[in-house]
Amino acid sequence: MAKTIVVKQIGSPIRRPAKQRATLVGLGLNKLHKTRELEDTPAVRGMIAKIPHMVQIVEEKG
């Protein structure tokens, strides 16, 4: 079974650069307090590292 992480959006993309908004969409997040379970890959970790002020890792599975 692959490792997964649960990511929650905690910040609004309003008045943020377009790159940061695009990163949120790439993670599948678009509304506050929405959560997504994503595969734990270096690409996903890099996207989270780009916007730590807008997302939070809730839990890590596997």
Beta-carbon contacts of 30 under 8 Å, excluding residues fewer than 6 positions away, are: 9, 24
> How high does pLDDT run on average in the chain?
97
pLDDT at 62: 87
13-40 residue pLDDT tens: 999 999 999 999 999 999 999 999 999 9
pLDDT at 3: 96
Rounded to 10 degrees, the C-alpha dihedral 48/57/12/50 comes to -10
